Structure 1
Amino acid sequence: MSTSANYAQLPSLNEDYALTNEQIASYQKNGHILLRNVATPDEINAYEPILSGVVREHDYNTKPVEERDTYGKAFIQIGNLWQLNEGAKRFVMACRFAKIAAELMGVSGVRIYHDQALFKEPGGGHTPWHQDQIYWPLDTPNTITLWMPLVPVSEEVGSMTFVDESQKLGYLSRQEISDESHKTLGSFIEGKQLPTTNYGALAAGDATFHAGWTLHSAPGNPTEAMREVMTIIYIEDGVRIAEPDSKARANDLRGWFPGLNPGDIAASPLNPLVYKA
């Protein structure tokens, strides 16, 4: 499947996924939620070969897993698949996913911040405790990540582990994903005895959504199968770029908001509007 005409035959992913008021309230309270069957088995069967193909094509890891640092062991990470492949673009721009993101946050419109394939190899390491939003030069709580496995994920690999209501704590630490962040934030979670949730085994097409400030980690992959996950990060339409207060945020400003400056509305050509109520 390589031509645009063939991609036009792909499922549209625009049909509605109805959320209940309880689901929205639960997300807003806890900062995370699991939604089952956000993409159907047929839709996953159509898109998985395309998305995993793009990852294989752009995976430049040459070192074996055991020789990499903690971050390198955690996953194969490829960003903005939507720019690399027409089929991947249809998946990332899906109106269904974007509408869920907007409704969970309680906003009228969302833009793409970026997408990322996060494939955890057999023997891949854990993902240390972190908050995504330490990387993002945005002064808003209205950011959300869809995390969708493209293959069934067994109980021993599981979903991510989230710290309930941690999004309400805001900016806890500038530490980037590392052994240090795992230790510091792990001690904080333990010391405060904060409750956590892990959703366990997931089917392909299930999805978790979590807020940008929600503390989370993920276990390693002790199985023989690749844990294929696609993520899409959404931001509220109309939010402005904040002055970067770290190197990580300065890098993100350059990479994901090209041509824009602090104070500008976060809407470069890399941040298309994907849903408006």
Structure 2
Amino acid sequence: MSKLNNLPDMNDTIVISQEQQQSYRRDGHAMIRGLMRQDEVSSYRNLISDIVREHNYHTKPLHERDTYGKAFIQVGNLWKLNPIAEKFVLARRFAKVAADLMGVSGVRIYHDQALFKEPGGGHTPWHQDQIYWPLNTNHTITLWMPLVPVPAEVGSMRFVSGTHHNGYISKQEISDESHKTFKDYIEGKGLEQIDYGALDAGDATFHSGWTLHSAPGNPTANMREVMTIIYVADGTIISEPDSNARKNDLAQWLPGLRPGDIAASPLNPLVYP
């Protein structure tokens, strides 16, 4: 318990600029540099890495996996696995930025995910996150934060500006097929792609659930260690799942709830205000 109490709680708040808010609402993505200080990241990084190693479900070597399996090691709801991870995920500082970017008064956790891209790991195909989420709102946002420095050749995710205004573009789940479909869509319309380049540990990108995005592979010898937290506006209603992916998400991340209910199960705590 003393170790938990000695960790920085990040329950202070920061003010983001009107320009950052307007840019996010226009483009569907934003960069917030230094959302965590280096000493704060150092306090949490090893613990989060230990959880990911413990819960890594991959049993095949990298070269024997499919495209999705090569993209990353994925572990969800770390905040329910360890009280130190809980302190990280429920940080008020992060949640207020998410609320301010979306322009809403309060946000709940939808779920968190560690996304660790192994050395030699493959690209993350183009996709939209919200095809998985049975949520009747456009007010969803994902924080994506590296716990280690990320060089330019790995970089941030790549975002397609303005695509969050279009809602569903394709219902394809993340795959080789989604990558081709969305690549043709982006190139056919000549849409702007933004990559924020090299990141320090503690920098964070935010993107809307509908924003088209992808990520390059990891050609380096180091693990790309990233934590993500998905937020949804407080008061959001659960929609009728229209795909198996959304049915699975309803059962996994909104347990005990039904379409028409407010997205507020015990797994979806209010983190701001």
- TM-score normalised by L of structure 2: 0.99
1:248 aligns with 2:271: no
Equivalent positions of 1:97-136 (< 5 A) are 97-136=94-133
What is residue 161 of structure 1 aligned with on the other side?
Answer: 158
Residue 115 (structure 1) shift: 0.1
Which range is displaced more, 59-68 or 249-258? 59-68
Structure 2 unpaired stretches of 5+: none
What is residue 23 of structure 2 aligned with on the other side?
Answer: 26
Q: Percent of aligned positions with the same letter in both sequences?
A: 67
Q: Counterpart of 1:77 in 2: which secondary structure?
A: strand
**Structure 1 counterpart of 2:255, from 254, 258, 263:** 258
**Distance in 1 between residues matched to 2:163 and 2:144, nearest whole Å:** 18
Residue 5 (structure 1) shift: 2.5
What is residue 39 of structure 2 aligned with on the other side?
Answer: 42
What is residue 210 of structure 1 aligned with on the other side?
Answer: 207
Describe the superposition over 1:61-99 as per-residue Cα deviations: whole angstroms up to 9, x where unpaired: 111111000000000000000000110000000000000
What is residue 229 of structure 2 aligned with on the other side?
Answer: 232
Residue 260 (structure 1) shift: 0.3
Residue 60 (structure 1) shift: 2.4
Residue 8 (structure 1) shift: 1.1
**Distance in 2 between residues matched to 1:75 and 1:8, nearest whole Å:** 31
**Distance in 1 between residues matched to 2:86 and 2:136, nearest whole Å:** 27
What is residue 144 of structure 1 aligned with on the other side?
Answer: 141
Q: Counterpart of 1:8 in 2: which secondary structure?
A: helix
1:182 aligns with 2:179: yes
**Distance in 2 between residues matched to 1:258 and 1:122, nearest whole Å:** 35
Residue 243 (structure 1) shift: 0.1
**Distance in 2 between residues matched to 1:113 and 1:17, nearest whole Å:** 22
For the aligned residue pairs, the C-alpha RMSD in angstroms reads 0.5
Structure 1 unpaired stretches of 5+: none
**Distance in 1 between residues matched to 2:121 and 2:14, nearest whole Å:** 33
> Runs of 4 or more off by more than 3 Å in structure 1?
none
Describe the superposition over 1:33-79 as per-residue Cα deviations: whole angstroms up to 9, x where unpaired: 01100000000010101111110111121111110000000000000
What is residue 96 of structure 1 aligned with on the other side?
Answer: 93
Describe the superposition over 1:5-52 as per-residue Cα deviations: whole angstroms up to 9, x where unpaired: 311110011122210111101111100001100000000010101111
> What amino acid sits opposite 1:132 in the alignment?
D
